[in-house]
Structure 1
Amino acid sequence: MQLHGYFRSSAAYRVRIVANLKGIELEHLTVNLVKGEQRGDAYAKRNPQHLVPTLVTDDGLDLTQSLAICEYLEERYPSPPILPADAAGRARARALSQLIACDMHPLNNLRVLKHLTGELGLDEAAKLAWYRHWVTVGFDAFETMLDGFSTDFCVGDRPTLADVCLVPQVFNAERFDCDLVPYPRIRAITERCRALPAFAKAAPDVQPDAT
C-alpha cells in the first residue's frame, strides 16, 4: 500500500503511527503541501479535497480522511487493536479522537492559516492568537475528559486511536509555542507514547522528506 502524505501533516502522522503499531509496511510518497503539490491535477484525481493523506490500497482504491484510513487499517489488520474491546471504550476513544481531528485540527490546518493571512489580511500575531485560542479550547476539554481515568494512555493501558490523534496535535502545538503547562495528563500521555517505537518512527523529524 502507498501513503501519499507530508512529513509535517498531523493527519498523515496519525496514519503512520497506526501502520507502525500494526507492523504494516507502507510506501511513503511525498505530497509537498508548502509547494502546493496537493493542488496539482494528478493528485486531485486521488483526493478531490486536495488534502493529505491518501492511502492507495493493494487493490487500487484511493482512501481519504485519516480517521477513515485508520479504521480501515483496524478492520483489515485487527491485531493489535487501536480501539478498546468494549462499546463504551470504543465510543470514548472515538470521542477523544474526533475532538482533535474534527474540532481542533480543521480550524488550524495550513489552508485555514493561509486564508487568515492571505484573503483576510491578518498579520502573524493575529494568526498565532487564532491558533493558540483553538488549541486552548480543545485541550481544555481534552484534559477534562481525561480526569477520573487513571490510565497510562487516553483510554486504557495501551495506545488507542485517541493517542494516535493526540500526539500529532501536541507536536503542532509545540511548533506554535502553545502553553502546555496546564495539561499535565496530556503531557504525560504524550511522553509515554513518544517513548514507544511505533510513535518514534512516525515522528515528522525522522521522515525522509523532513526539511
Structure 2
Amino acid sequence: MSEEIVLYDYWRSSASYRVRIVLESLGLAYRRVSVDLLAGEQRAPEHRARNPQGLVPALVIDGQTLTQSLAIIEYLCETRPAARFLPADPLGRQRVRTLSYAIAMEIHAVCNTGVVGHVMEITGGGEGVRADWMKKFIGEGLAAVEALLDNPATGAFCHGETPTMADFCLVPQIYNAERWGADLSGLTQMRRIAEACRMLPAFKAAHPETVKAA
C-alpha cells in the first residue's frame, strides 16, 4: 500500500470535496490531477477509461481505480483502521448513511452540472434558471436534512462528537448552498455543525478555495 495515491477531481466538485476531506482526515498523502468539468474533460476518453460514467472523483489507491465518493469513503473505512467515519453499531451506521444519502443521492443528484446544463438547454433559460433550480432543490433538500438532525444522536457533529461520512457530505453541500444563495437562515443545527467542521484542519485543507489556490 505504499504506491502513490492519485485523486482525479475538480476543485469545486462536491463529490471530490468529500473525498479530499476523508483523505486529509486520514493524513494520506495524495496527488491531485484536475479534471476540468467546465471544459468537458470528464467526457474525454482518457477519463472515461478511469470512470465510464464520466464523473469525478476517481481515486487510484491500493492498485485500483475507485469511483463514487461514498463508496470510496466506505472502502477507506474498511481498509484503514484509523477511518472511523461510520459508527460501530448498525443503527448508528444506518443513520449516518441516511444523512449522507439524503445529501449525495437526493440533493446532489439533481444539482450536478450535467442535470442543470440539460435543464437550461431544454428550457432555453440562462443563469437565472440555473440559480432558481439550485436554490429550490438545495434549499428544500437541506431543510429535510435539518429535520433529520433533530435527533438525540446529533452531537457536536451530525452523529455524535466526531465527524462522520455525514459531515463529509454536509460541508460541501453547505458550500454549494452559500454559493447559490440558498436560504440557510432557519437551518441552525446544520450551520452550527458546518462551522464546527470548518474549524478542523482536514476540512480547511480540502476546501475548494484552498485547493484552487494551491
For residues 110-129 of structure 1, what are the structure 2 equivalents within 5 Å?
A: 110-129=113-132
- What are structure 2's unaligned runs of at least 5 residues? none
**Matched residue, 1:164:** 168
**Matched residue, 2:43:** 39
Identity of aligned pairs, percent?
A: 45
**Matched residue, 2:104:** 101
Alpha-carbon separation, structure 2, partners of 1:50 and 1:176:
24
The amino acid of 1:165's aligned partner reads: C
From 151, 156, 169, give the equivalent of 1:148: 151
Kindly state the Cα deviation for residue 24 of structure 1 after the two structures are TM-superposed.
1.2
**Matched residue, 1:73:** 76
The amino acid of 1:140's aligned partner reads: A
Deviates more, 1:139-148 or 1:113-122: 113-122
For residues 3-14 of structure 1, what are the structure 2 equivalents within 5 Å?
A: 3-14=7-18
| Off by >4 Å, runs of 4+ in structure 1 | none
From 83, 90, 94, give the equivalent of 2:93: 90
Instruction: Judge conservation of contact 1:7–1:210 (CA < 8 Å) in 2.
Output: no
From 123, 134, 138, give the equivalent of 2:137: 134
**Matched residue, 1:55:** 59
Kindly state the Cα deviation for residue 127 of structure 1 after the two structures are TM-superposed.
2.3
The amino acid of 1:138's aligned partner reads: G
Kindly state the Cα deviation for residue 9 of structure 1 after the two structures are TM-superposed.
0.4
Kindly state the Cα deviation for residue 124 of structure 1 after the two structures are TM-superposed.
2.4
Instruction: Judge conservation of contact 2:76–2:83 (CA < 8 Å) in 1.
Output: no
The superposition leaves residues 32-82 of structure 1 with CA deviations (integer Å, 9 ceiling, x where unpaired) of 1111111111111111111000011231x2211000111111111131400
Q: Secondary structure at 2:7's aligned position in 1?
A: strand
Q: Secondary structure at 1:118's aligned position in 2?
A: helix
**Matched residue, 1:193:** 197
From 18, 21, 27, give the equivalent of 2:22: 18
Q: Secondary structure at 1:84's aligned position in 2?
A: coil
Alpha-carbon separation, structure 1, partners of 2:75 and 2:62:
13
The superposition leaves residues 83-136 of structure 1 with CA deviations (integer Å, 9 ceiling, x where unpaired) of 111111111000000000000001011111211222331232232221111112
Alpha-carbon separation, structure 2, partners of 1:125 and 1:56:
38
- State the TM-score, normalizing by the size of structure 2: 0.94
The amino acid of 1:97's aligned partner reads: S
Kindly state the Cα deviation for residue 179 of structure 1 after the two structures are TM-superposed.
1.0
Alpha-carbon separation, structure 2, partners of 1:52 and 1:82:
21
Alpha-carbon separation, structure 2, partners of 1:128 and 1:186:
22
- State the TM-score, normalizing by the size of structure 1: 0.95
Q: Secondary structure at 1:189's aligned position in 2?
A: helix
Q: Secondary structure at 1:154's aligned position in 2?
A: coil
- What are structure 1's unaligned runs of at least 5 residues? none
Q: Secondary structure at 1:79's aligned position in 2?
A: coil
- Matched residues, number: 209
Q: Secondary structure at 1:119's aligned position in 2?
A: helix
Instruction: Judge conservation of contact 2:86–2:164 (CA < 8 Å) in 1.
Output: yes
